[in-house]
Amino acid sequence: MSLHAFSGAPLDPLMAAASVPGQSLSFLQARAAALPSFPDVDRLLHDGWRHGVDAALAVNLPRLSNAGGEVFSGSVAAERLADVRTSAIHALLLWEQRARRIGSCLEAGGVPPLLLLKGGALRYQVYPEPWLRAAADLDLLVPEGQLERAVQALVDNGAEVHLPVVERRWSMRHGHHVTVRQDGFHVELHRSVDQGDRPLLSHVALSDGAVPLSAVHGHLLLPRLSGQALVCAAHALKHGLNIPLKNLVDLHCLAVCGAFSDEDEVVRQARAEKLDGVLGYLLSCAVELLATNVPEGLLLALRPPLPWTLLTRAVLSPWRDGFFPAALGRDTPLRRLAAHLLLVADGRFVAGVGTRFLTRRLHDLTDRG
């Protein structure tokens, strides 16, 4: 069975199975029984850390041992798993302290409430415990016309605007207008969740139905779940589908919490943002790898037209012998090609891809010069 992590090293199916919070014990046992030999705890947790799922592993693996297996028994393994849980909880408390300070600074500076994106929001919305989802920085979507005020509010409280050469390139490519550092904490202020060649998912588009994150700070808002699913798809696409396992687990947890229950609305929103093919592909990967329950009708509705379906499946199709999607492997020219194919499949034009490529090349040459 050939499964690949970012390092290119073999990755056990057990890690995928155990990376989902609350995964059924029978599913874990079936994956463990299929292994020719049980993996080493340290190696498994190291791969889990690289994919941002080590906290969930630390919860699920002891359940597997307690059910009669001898996979991770012993005091050394127990201490190692306990350390991972403790570290994850400590990281969450530190993140909340910093996020609370950022929210207070923005509120005092007269900035309207901001939307919290990606892992920082999902950990409170769809995970059983927020510490199960790693999130190192703070991604905020700023209301239109409020970006300069938000930056100034943070700078007035000791933050530093951080845009070196390499990050200027990153900013052009990924649409992070500005990154602010405060006490070593990264705050990324977005005008929109964009794809580099055009804006996607503005504050207005995501703010409908948003609720305050009262557990941290009322000035930080949580978008509706269907909007978060589109953010996940846009994030994966802008990274050339070079995503860690935690991003698929996000979609799994969104599905469990009913983000895709209104199939017609999900399809309408995805098509409006031209993210239907990407979202459909990612959900298909989650179904194969994590046994995510996604309605078949939704997957069919999100499928690109036949020519693009054949091309993307030829390049990106999950490996049938290993059920691990190639999109989660190493960064390769084939996957970059497939990401561009998905761009076109979602209603974009080849010219858009070409413009994006030339823009990157121009900035690469400018930075070297």
pLDDT surpassing 80 at residue 338: no
Torsions phi, psi for 165 (to 5 deg): -55, -50
Q: Confidence band (pLDDT; 50, 70, 90) for 369?
A: very low
Return the ∠ at Cα 57 (arms to 51 and 62), rounded to 5°: 165
| Residue 136: both structure tokens together | 């190192």
3-state secondary structure of 244: coil
Q: Cα separation of 307 and 342, whole Å?
A: 11
pLDDT surpassing 90 at residue 171: no
- 10 Å Cβ neighbour count for 24? 12
3-state secondary structure of 190: strand
pLDDT surpassing 90 at residue 100: yes
Of 29-38, 131-140, 331-340, give the range with the top mean pLDDT.
Answer: 131-140
Q: Cα separation of 220 and 199, whole Å?
A: 22
Going by their DSSP bridges, the two strands 185-190 and 217-222 should be labelled as unpaired
Decide: 154 and 105 in contact? Cβ < 8 Å: yes
Domains in the chain: boundaries: 111-223, 224-369
Of 6-15, 125-134, 149-158, give the range with the top mean pLDDT.
Answer: 125-134
pLDDT at 315: 54
pLDDT at 220: 94
Q: CB under 8 Å to 303, separation ≥6 — which residues?
A: 277, 280, 309
pLDDT surpassing 70 at residue 7: no
Q: Alpha carbon of 258 to those of 231, 287, 331: distances in Å?
A: 16, 15, 32
Tens digits of per-residue pLDDT, 133-148? 999 888 898 887 888 8
Return the ∠ at Cα 265 (arms to 311 and 278), rounded to 5°: 20
- 10 Å Cβ neighbour count for 208? 9
pLDDT surpassing 70 at residue 323: no
Decide: 327 and 285 in contact? Cβ < 8 Å: yes
Place of tokens 């690109």: 304
pLDDT at 342: 62
Task: Calculate the average pLDDT of the chain.
Answer: 75
Q: In terms of pLDDT, which residue wins out, 145 or 101?
A: 101
pLDDT surpassing 90 at residue 221: yes
Burial of 158 (0-12, 13-18, 19+ CB in 10 A): exposed
Q: Cα separation of 107 and 219, whole Å?
A: 7
- Going 241 to 243 to 246 to 250, the CA torsion angle's sign is negative
**Residues in the chain, how many?**
369
The residue-averaged pLDDT of 36-53 equals 81
